[in-house]
Each structure stands twice: as structure tokens, then as C-alpha cells.
Amino acid sequence: MSRDETGPIDADFLAGVRDVSPLMLGIVPFALVAGIAAVDAGFSLAEALGLSVIVFAGASQLAALDLLGADAPLAVVIGTAVVINLRMVMYSASIAPYFSRYGTRLRAGLAYLLTDQAYALSVAEFERSPDRVRRRYYLGVAASLWVVWQAGTVVGVAVGAGVPDAWGLTFAVPLVFLALLVPAMKDRPTTAAGLVGGVVAVAAAGLPLNLGLLAGAVCGIGAGLLVEGAAS
């Protein structure tokens, strides 16, 4: 039997919890912002929590809440959320080989928990530690994020607009992504992808339907592939 079936549950699961813990310093304010944004958009606690549980995607949640608060058409709200989350297709394709041995139901559950943080930490760990029980480590990371995100959203709804702007909670959002990006830029292709993707995303931030993020992702991937091809 492989270690995937016989390894101790706690060791790998707790390793995931441990590795994701430093990122919680940014996730908690991010979740609070999502809860506060839901209040500003006129959501009740049940509605805000329902959105958070069903969507479970911080950037698209904030964009959707902003549009709903501005009475945007539902098609625009859904379209914007889908476009922002298109990066999950790339994440899924990248991480899928690590979970190919598992059944469809389990993989569907793992897919629901997929986030930027869960993807980045898990792929890095799987490459670094081949013997790691993958589903358990991934769940340690992803389930921890899910629980903290839902709790933070509830607290954000509860405190509502009472949190002063001086606290600078929104500044924690880019810090979370920077904490993931910098360690991943470990060679020329990944560095080129990160830099080009970031520059294009910022430059294209004014595009409709939040297409700037998608443009940055596509350009970053293209730059990484070009640099990798030139080096080979």
C-alpha cells in the first residue's frame, strides 16, 4: 500500500495547517472586508454567509458585492465573478495530476476548496516532499482557509461599517498575494511571469468586467513560456 492509504492523518493534515497559518494574518482582514462589503451592499447575515459559502472566492466576492451594491444587472455580476475566477481553471489543470488517483467525489470536494493560497502552498509542498499524503496536506491548508474565511465574514457582517478606515484592512488583501508570489518566483521563467503578469494587470486595471486580471494572467503565462523556451 502507498503512504496515501496508510500514513498518519494528523502528520500531513497538521503540516498543512502549520504552513498556512502565517497567511491567516492577511486572510482574516480580507474576510472582514468581505463581510463589511456585504453589509454595505444591503445583505443580511444569512445572505452574506450564503454567498461566502457558495462562492468562496475573495476577489470575486468583493467584485460581485460592489456591483450588487451599485444595482448592476445580474448577468454583469455573474460574468464578472466568472472572469475573475478563470484563473482557477489554470490552477485546476496544474494541480489535477497530483489528485488523479482519487475518486470523482473526492476530487470534486477538493476542487470546491481550491484557492490561490491552497494551490500555491500545496503544489510547492508536493514538489518539495513527494512522500507527503497529498489530500491530507491539501485539506489541512484548504479547510483551514475555509473555516477562517467563513468566520471572518460573519465577524465582518456583525461589526459592519463600524470598523474605521484608519485600520487599513483592505491593505491586507494585496499582502496575502505578495506573500504567495515572491517565494514562487524561483527562476527566470517564473520571475518573468510574475513581473509581466503584475505589470499588465495593473496597467489594464481599468478594463471593463475586471478583464485586467485575466489579461495579466495570460500575458504572465506567455512571458514565462517565452523565457523558458529561450533558455532551452
Are both 178 and 206 inside the same structural domain? no
CB burial of 176-211 (b: ≥16 within 10 Å; e: otherwise) equals bbeebbeeeeeeebbbbbbebbbebbeebeeeebbb
| Structural domain total, the chain | 2
Q: Residues 12-15: contacts with CB within 8 Å, 24+ apart?
A: 12/132, 12/133, 12/136, 12/137, 12/140, 13/136, 13/137, 13/139, 13/140, 14/140, 15/125, 15/132, 15/137, 15/140
Q: What is the mean pLDDT of residues 73-88?
A: 79
pLDDT of residue 1: 40
Are both 54 and 146 inside the same structural domain? yes
> By residue range, what is the domain housing residue 232?
186-232
Are both 82 and 141 inside the same structural domain? yes
Q: Tens digits of per-residue pLDDT, 139-176?
A: 999 999 999 999 999 998 888 656 665 555 555 555 55
In three-state secondary structure terms, 100 is: coil
From 15-24, 71-80, 115-124, the region with the lowest mean pLDDT: 71-80
Q: Tens digits of per-residue pLDDT, 127-142?
A: 888 888 899 999 999 9
Q: What is the mean pLDDT of residues 78-103?
A: 85
Q: Of 42, 44, 78, whose CA–CA distance to 61 is shortest?
A: 78
From 19-28, 29-38, 64-73, 121-130, the region with the lowest mean pLDDT: 64-73
Are both 48 and 118 inside the same structural domain? yes
Evaluate whether residue 167 is within a structural domain.
Answer: no
Are both 157 and 190 inside the same structural domain? no
d(CA 217, CA 220): 5
Are both 153 and 197 inside the same structural domain? no
Are both 139 and 223 inside the same structural domain? no
Radius of gyration for the alpha carbons in the chain, expressed in angstroms and rounded: 18
Question: DSSP per residue over 58-72, as a string?
Answer: HHHHHHHHHHHHTT-
pTM of this structure: 0.72
Q: Tens digits of per-residue pLDDT, 12-31?
A: 999 999 999 998 887 888 88
Evaluate whether residue 50 is within a structural domain.
Answer: yes
Are both 178 and 197 inside the same structural domain? no
**The C-alpha cell that represents 96 in the structure block:** 489535477
Are both 179 and 221 inside the same structural domain? no
The dihedrals phi and psi of 164, each to the nearest 5 degrees, come to: -70, 145
Evaluate whether residue 131 is within a structural domain.
Answer: yes
What percent of the chain is predicted at pLDDT more than 70? 82
Give me the residue label for grid cell 493560497: 117
Helix H segments across 44-187? 45-55, 58-69, 74-84, 87-95, 104-112, 116-128, 134-159, 172-184
